Amino acid sequence: MSHMVEQHGAETSHRNSGAARVPERGVADAQGAAHGDPGDDATEFKPAHLAAWAILAFVLAVVIGAAMWPRGGAPVVLPSQMAGPTIEQGLPILFEAPVFALVDQNGRAVTNADFVGRVWIADFIFTYCAGPCPLMTQKMAGLQEALSDCAPLRLVSFSVDPARDRPDVLAAYAARFGADSQRWLFLTGDDERGIRRLIGEGFRLVARVTTPEERADQGWDDILHSTQFVLVDERGRIRGLYDSNDARQMTQLQRDTRRLCESVRR
C-alpha cells in the first residue's frame, strides 16, 4: 500500500541657487540674525507658548490612546505589530480540529467535546491494512508507554474504513497492541464518506478510496491515507503534524506533547 504524506533608498541631491542675499536693511541686520537676534518679523517663543504646546500634545496622546483601548480593557494589537504566526507554549497554532460524533471500540459515543481540557494525538488507520498501519499503531503504543505520566493525554485512532472496522473489530485490534481503552480510543461510525471527509477537510490530510487502476497498476490497498500523527491541544487546536516514519519527528512529538501537558497542569 502506498501512502501520501502531507503540506530604496533613492539618493536625493540638493542644488545651491547661489549665494544667500543679504536683506536691504543692511549688514548689521544680517549679522544680528546670524547671532540669534529674532528681528522684527520673528516669532518669539515665550514660556507660555511652550506650555500651551505641551498641553496640546498631552491631550492628543490621551485621545489617541483612548481610541486604541477597547471597552474590555486590553489594548488593540494592530496587524503590523504582529511579528509572526501566533505561538503559544512555544508551538504554532495551525488550525482548529474538526467537530465529530463517533463511537469507540467499546461502543461508547465520543465527540470532540470529550477532549476539551485534554491534549490528544490522532492518527488514521484501518485494521486490515497490510502496509504502514500496524507500524503506526505500534508507534502509538510506544507513545502510550513513553507518555504514561502525562495525565491529560489521550490517544485517538480514527478508522478510515468504518464499514469494516466496527467496534468489535476495533476492540480486537486494540487488544493486540495493548491499548488502554481509557486513554487510547479507536473511533468509527456509520457514515463512511463523512469520516473520510472529516479527515480530508477537517484534519486536511489524505483519506480516500483508491481507483481500480491504482490498485491494479501500483498494488495499492483499497484506501489511501496519511501516515502523519496530529497533535491537538486542550482547546481543540492543532499544534503540529508529525511524520510517523521519521524518528526525529516522533521524538519531537513526545517533547511537544509534554510541553502541552505541563501547560494544562498549570
- Domain ranges in the chain are 93-261
Q: Label the pairing between strands 223-225 and 228-232.
A: unpaired
Say what the pLDDT of residue 1 is. 43
Regions of the chain with pLDDT less than 50: 1-43, 45, 59, 61-85
State the fold for domain 93-261: Glutaredoxin (3.40.30)
Say what the pLDDT of residue 89 is. 74
Say what the pLDDT of residue 90 is. 86
Say what the pLDDT of residue 43 is. 46
**Helix, strand and coil in the chain, % to nearest 5:** 35, 20, 45
pTM: 0.66
Say what the pLDDT of residue 214 is. 60
Say what the pLDDT of residue 46 is. 53
**DSSP structural state of residue 115:** G
Task: Give every CB contact of residue 205 below 8 A, 6+ residues apart in sequence.
Answer: 6, 124, 199, 225, 226, 228, 230, 241
